[in-house]
């Protein structure tokens, strides 16, 4: 009985929330997808810290990284990524965007890969999916307000060939 009421509530909540976020205005969807692409391009051109500090809202931008408290705002974002070794590439591509009914909010999601050597032609050290929530700021720019990612549990990075790591033989 309780389970049936819980399921009914879940279905009703989904039905009520459905119109609030969807494919919506095609121009808004394309705008947030483009913002996400530009965000990724900046990460490739500069570094992860600069990209996140630039594209996430300086005050309200939150990064959820598996802890109870999200990283919030530019200062904390810079501190989080400041220790990433130079040359590390975090590459991502949005797969889909959804726009809110007010045309000032949207969500993108996609896939990411981490290349510590900075080379996309080599197998990534990790990969997964991400979701970024966007809002249109007072200056008319799309800024991230929430970003979170998950690892792909099925992905296993290639292991180094043990033979290539062997020491030279004594003569």
Residue 101 resides in a domain: yes
Domain that holds residue 127: 23-152
CATH number of the domain encompassing residue 84? 3.10.450.50
Is 12 among the domain residues? no
Evaluate whether residue 113 is within a structural domain: yes
Number of domains forming the structure of the chain: 1
| 9 lies in some domain | no
* Residue pLDDT tens, the chain, 171 long: 444 443 333 333 333 344 445 556 999 999 999 999 999 999 999 999 999 999 999 999 999 998 899 999 999 999 999 999 999 999 999 999 999 988 999 999 999 999 999 999 999 999 999 999 999 999 999 999 999 999 999 999 888 766 655 455 554
Domain assignment present for residue 162? The answer is no
Q: Enter the tokens of residue 171.
A: 């003569």
- Does a structural domain hold residue 123? yes
Q: Which one, of 83, 76, 41, lies nearest residue 58 by Cα?
A: 76
Predicted confidence at residue 1, as pLDDT, reads: 47
Supply the pLDDT for residue 50: 97
Establish if 32 belongs to a structural domain: yes
Is 79 part of a structural domain of the chain?
Answer: yes
- CB-CB contact of 94 with 110 (8 Å): yes
Q: What is the pLDDT of residue 169?
A: 52
Query: What is the spatial distance between Cα 161 and Cα 168, in angstroms, rounded to a whole number?
Result: 15
């Amino acid at each position: 009985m309780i389970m049936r009421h819980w399921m009914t509530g879940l279905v009703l909540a989904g039905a009520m929330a459905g119109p609030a976020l969807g494919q919506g205005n095609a121009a808004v969807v394309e705008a947030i997808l483009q913002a996400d692409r530009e965000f990724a391009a900046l990460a490739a051109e500069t570094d992860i810290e600069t990209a996140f500090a630039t594209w996430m809202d300086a005050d309200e931008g939150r990064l959820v990284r598996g802890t109870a408290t999200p990283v919030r705002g530019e200062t904390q974002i810079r501190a989080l990524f400041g220790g990433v070794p130079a040359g590390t590439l975090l590459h991502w591509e949005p797969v889909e965007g959804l726009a809110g009914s007010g045309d000032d909010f949207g969500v993108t999601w996609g896939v990411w890969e981490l290349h510590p050597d900075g080379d996309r032609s080599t197998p990534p050290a990790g990969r997964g999916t991400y979701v970024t929530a966007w809002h249109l700021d007072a200056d008319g720019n799309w800024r991230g307000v929430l970003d979170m990612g998950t690892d792909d549990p099925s992905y296993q990075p290639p292991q180094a060939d043990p033979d290539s790591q062997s020491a030279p033989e004594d003569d």
